[in-house]
Chain A
């Protein structure tokens, strides 16, 4: 370990520490503000629990310091900031869920540490790519067969009394599967002539099959947000691996055709789109939720009503699907812009990691995870504000929920792992690792 390298990682980690402390202070102050405004008579214990959970980010930070690898220094603080805002909003909207969400964050951080500690080398993942696909499809199938419905559309698997959203786990499995297959096949897929056709049938075939299978399962169980997300990941990774414009055009065309078919075939798809196009036509029924979200955003204006001073409780599912408009009502455009800025930072960093990854497989998996988190955030942020039709999926790190927390922190752990410089490359920080 040279002195230059040591100095480099130290600066990285010092910067990370500063940002983390800021994010944690934001969370602690927010929780205290909500407590004083709404529940001044209640016990302070939940706030302490929440703050302790957020302090878990510092444990991860310590682990990164100890490992000595120059992992990206912005990812963790951004996730901490989003988690802090999410925790504050959960306390404001569902105080009874604060301790549970704190637990989910802690569990997610543990998962992150496990991933960081054990998955130092991702190459083995490649070998089991097809296994991941089968596992993912089985999880989805199991949800269709024995899943239980909670909160309307979302399907859950009961595993020993704990409700798990398999969709969030399948998201990671699909990224691993696509990355594995595409790393092997990308050379073949850009060849001219019959060898490419064979590769297309042999390699793309299973991917397509898996994708269509997942989509069908999701459409039947009404999880349109996840269906959109999976398909987006598929197209994005195909593009990154092969650079084939015709695949992208074909993929988007297929999406449009599929969407049109679903619109005509399924009542629940039609309702979603119609409500989006004109929520005022069904202001007291289907359009109620999205309209309340819009009124909340508008009422918030530039600086918001202040935590506890608005009426985000008028929005159905405020603490899950409508968390973003709820932030918009009480923290205003100042709050929503900050959240979007955090996601922009996250996306920028994730794609930077993908671009600088040591190998093609790592690059693909990082790009896939970046697409998964970024697209997922856009689908729900855009959906809950009526930029696009609303489909309920959790906003990464922000929305209440255990399965999402664990999956997203695992993804974060994988990305942090990929961003670690092998000693040789880290000597000259900032130099491109490969071309």
Chain B
């Protein structure tokens, strides 16, 4: 009986040991994640006790701050719905999104890392969150929102020298101030207004992918700027007939000329000569196929597996079709990398965290770099992109007195008319702004997206000139 008593005791003790292990999991290992789920009512209680931090643009203009309504703190938005996807909403019922979600601890001042702030709170001042200063320029953002008016699509503009995002717009949008009332309509809208197309919209790149094909071909030495290719009306690859977009044929022309007129048939030949490994490798080094590290959740897009691509698949990705998918943020980074002498700057939108009385806690000028292309090859691609705007498919993006480099894209897709793409940077000799525009089902890139990109470029250059004059 003694042994059996001991066994029974061990069994009961074992149950409590299981409980201990389980508690360690719930409280210590998964505790922080579980406690941070939006359904935990403690978060909202804590959040209401703190004066929420504000979000400011690069010139310290207020983008959002809070006010008291019926005894509760609510957000108000200086520019209405213009920055809805980027700033996000702050809802008691639906939780947080965008930067509100990403930087919630900072906005609530939760990591009490500032001893001075802690002292003031101890002295009785209501706790205040920290302010976020963004790299966003409200004037550029306004232009981006305007070109998307009534359309579906996205605009990303950034400073290629640093990776600082100047504008990030997605349409259709929503009003973050009335998210609770509008939620049921918004979440069921087929236009997906809650989706941030700029970071998470995945599209076929079409011909805006050609700079990458060209980079791979130049790097591998398969072509030079002087190589002549035949831009015939069509080419047959393993029984599949590939035609130029509007059935045009130019005959023999140099690679820059074929790039400027965006000749698919010529690029199929270049692509077949370069090979899938080289093209997809170049795409990967430009950051395609994986989610960029950014302040907001961003989609990865898709690159096919080079092993499964036959010659037909290779022919299709040579002009940006097939199973390729990219996001506007990724394409803005492609333009930015070429603008920045082949060096990819990690994109970012948070430039400073400040206390409510303006003392700087964190400050970022850039968040990391990565060399993508040798400068010589990069310069050739940049030159070819200038030709696109000067004499090719992108003339609608010309700005008087400023050399603009760009590439059009007209992406076929299974859902309807083509998506219009334009990626660009300016001024071409010392670029200070890079932009990517996609307009869903808007037709031809050079006609729909290039003028839109032009307006954003003009706004950004004007804003930068003003900033240089009055720093």
**Interface of A toward B, CB cutoff 8 Å:** 236, 239-241, 243, 283, 291-292, 294-302, 310-311, 314, 328, 332-333, 336-337, 340, 343-344, 347-348, 350-352, 354-355, 360, 363, 367, 370-371, 374-375, 377-378, 381-382, 385, 387, 432, 435
Is there contact, CB below 8 Å, between B2 and A298? Answer: no
Is there contact, CB below 8 Å, between A370 and B42? Answer: no
Is there contact, CB below 8 Å, between A297 and B27? Answer: yes
Nearest-neighbour CB distance to chain B for A281, whole angstroms, equals 13
Is there contact, CB below 8 Å, between A344 and B16? Answer: yes
Residues in chain B near residue A240, CB distance under 8 A: 1, 4-5, 8
Q: Is B6 an interface residue (CB 8 A)?
A: yes
Cβ contact of A297, chosen from B9, B31, B37, B45, cutoff 8 A: B31
Residues in chain A near residue B32, CB distance under 8 A: 298, 301
Residues in chain A near residue B20, CB distance under 8 A: 337, 340
| CB-CB under 8 A for A328 and B9, given A337-B20, A355-B2, A385-B19 | no
Task: Please report the C-alpha to C-alpha distance between residue A198 and residue B163 in the assembled complex, in whole angstroms.
Answer: 88
Q: Is B13 an interface residue (CB 8 A)?
A: yes
Question: Can you name 6 extra interface pairs (CB under 8 A) apart from A240-B5, A351-B6, A435-B2?
Answer: A241-B1, A295-B34, A298-B31, A337-B20, A374-B12, A382-B19
Q: Is B376 an interface residue (CB 8 A)?
A: no
Cβ contact of A311, chosen from B7, B34, B42, cutoff 8 A: B42
Is there contact, CB below 8 Å, between A381 and B19? Answer: yes
Report B12-56 CB contacts with A as 1/0, cut-off 8 Å: 110111111011101110111111010111100100000000000
Is there contact, CB below 8 Å, between B1 and A340? Answer: no
Task: Please report the C-alpha to C-alpha distance between residue A360 and residue B42 in the assembled complex, in whole angstroms.
Answer: 53
Task: Please report the C-alpha to C-alpha distance between residue A432 and residue B6 in the assembled complex, in whole angstroms.
Answer: 14
Is there contact, CB below 8 Å, between B8 and A351? Answer: yes
List 9 A-B pairs, minimum CB-CB distance, nearest first: A351-B9, A298-B34, A298-B35, A333-B27, A295-B40, A374-B12, A298-B31, A299-B35, A355-B5
Task: Please report the C-alpha to C-alpha distance between residue A236 and residue B1 in the assembled complex, in whole angstroms.
Answer: 12
Nearest-neighbour CB distance to chain B for A424, whole angstroms, equals 20
Nearest-neighbour CB distance to chain B for A185, whole angstroms, equals 14
Residues in chain A near residue B35, CB distance under 8 A: 295, 298-299, 301
Identity of the chain B residue whose Cβ is nearest the Cβ of A293 in the assembled complex: B26
Residues in chain B near residue A301, CB distance under 8 A: 27-28, 31-32, 35
Residues in chain A near residue B15, CB distance under 8 A: 374, 378, 382
Is there contact, CB below 8 Å, between B26 and A385? Answer: yes
Is there contact, CB below 8 Å, between A314 and B42? Answer: yes
Is there contact, CB below 8 Å, between A332 and B16? Answer: no
Task: Please report the C-alpha to C-alpha distance between residue A398 and residue B231 in the assembled complex, in whole angstroms.
Answer: 85
Task: Please report the C-alpha to C-alpha distance between residue A139 and residue B206 in the assembled complex, in whole angstroms.
Answer: 81
Residues in chain B near residue A300, CB distance under 8 A: 27, 31
| CB-CB under 8 A for A348 and B9, given A355-B2, A382-B15, A387-B19 | yes
Task: Please report the C-alpha to C-alpha distance between residue A347 and residue B30 in the assembled complex, in whole angstroms.
Answer: 29
Is there contact, CB below 8 Å, between A298 and B23? Answer: no
Is there contact, CB below 8 Å, between B41 and A340? Answer: no
Is there contact, CB below 8 Å, between B13 and A344? Answer: yes
Task: Please report the C-alpha to C-alpha distance between residue A338 and residue B436 in the assembled complex, in whole angstroms.
Answer: 58
Identity of the chain A residue whose Cβ is nearest the Cβ of B3 in the assembled complex: A243
Nearest-neighbour CB distance to chain A for B50, whole angstroms, equals 15
Nearest-neighbour CB distance to chain A for B127, whole angstroms, equals 14
Is there contact, CB below 8 Å, between A243 and B28? Answer: no
Residues in chain B near residue A298, CB distance under 8 A: 26-27, 30-35, 40
Cβ contact of B13, chosen from A236, A291, A348, A385, cutoff 8 A: A348
Residues in chain B near residue A381, CB distance under 8 A: 16, 19
Q: List 18 A-B contacts (CB under 8 A).
A: A239-B4, A295-B42, A296-B42, A301-B31, A301-B35, A302-B27, A311-B41, A328-B23, A333-B24, A336-B23, A347-B12, A363-B1, A363-B5, A374-B16, A378-B12, A378-B16, A382-B15, A385-B22
Task: Please report the C-alpha to C-alpha distance between residue A314 and residue B41 in the assembled complex, in whole angstroms.
Answer: 8
| CB-CB under 8 A for A239 and B8, given A336-B27, A340-B23 | yes
Identity of the chain B residue whose Cβ is nearest the Cβ of A334 in the assembled complex: B27
